[in-house]
Amino acid sequence: MTTYSLQYEDDGLGLAKRVEFEGRSAALVLSVAHGEAEGRWAELFADGRPICRLGRSATSAGDVWILR
């Protein structure tokens, strides 16, 4: 199992926090991150290694995830 961590900054949309969870793949990441406000960005780490930065934006077609 891999330990994943989403790290959010105090950004005016929410307070700084760190959410950790374990999983066999990163598939759970979007489910966990979906509970955050639209426009919040998080750094994603897997076993302490940086993976990407991700955020969610609403469009007329539905939510879109942006990975950097």
Give mean pLDDT, residues 13-38. 88
Provide the pLDDT confidence category of residue 22 given band limits of 50, 70 and 90: very high
Q: What does the pLDDT read at residue 8?
A: 94
The alpha carbon dihedral of 54, 61, 21, 9 has a sign of positive
pLDDT grade, residue 20 (50/70/90)? very high
Query: Is it the case that residue 58 has pLDDT exceeding 90?
Result: no
Task: Return the H-helix or E-strand segment holding 6.
Answer: strand 2-8
- How many Å apart are CA 64 and CA 55, to the nearest integer? 8
User: In the prediction, which pLDDT does 7 show?
Assistant: 96
How far is Cα 38 from Cα 45, in angstroms, rounded to an integer?
20
